[in-house]
Amino acid sequence: MRELSEQDKEKLGRILAKGKWRYVLLYGVVLWGITTAILFRVLMIYWKGNEGPFWEQFFSAETVLALIIFPVTGIGFGLVLWKGLQKTARVNDLLK
């Protein structure tokens, strides 16, 4: 792990102060899970070819399923990211 600049330490401190579950929900569920689900569905529609209007395919049960599976998986992803932040904070003496 590298030594963080003072600006990065302050930013990391602010992130840690907001708490684990806020971080997991924002970065894991919203930013990774929902974004990945939408991108996945768009790519799947594109690769399937022309099976009807895009919006009819996008607003389907498959999209709903993707919007459930990816955000739930995002909880795990967010927790892994949080562990990495904690490790960085410990190395830089930001956690006791």
- 35-46 pLDDT per residue, tens: 999 999 999 999
Is 95 within a domain? no
Give me the pLDDT at residue 71, please: 98
Please state the domain count of the chain: 1
pTM of this structure:
0.84
- 60-93 pLDDT per residue, tens: 999 999 999 999 999 999 999 999 999 999 988 8
Q: Domain limits at 79?
A: 24-89
Q: Are 24 and 72 in contact (CB under 8 A)?
A: no
Arithmetic mean of pLDDT, 9-14: 93
Q: Determine the Cα–Cα distance for residues 68 and 62; give it in Å rounded to an integer.
A: 10
Is 17 within a domain? no
Alpha helices in 1-96 (DSSP H): 6-18, 20-23, 35-48, 54-58, 61-91
pLDDT beyond 70 at 96? no
Give me the pLDDT at residue 1, please: 63
- Report CA dihedral (55, 56, 57, 62) to the nearest 10 degrees: 110
Is 18 within a domain? no
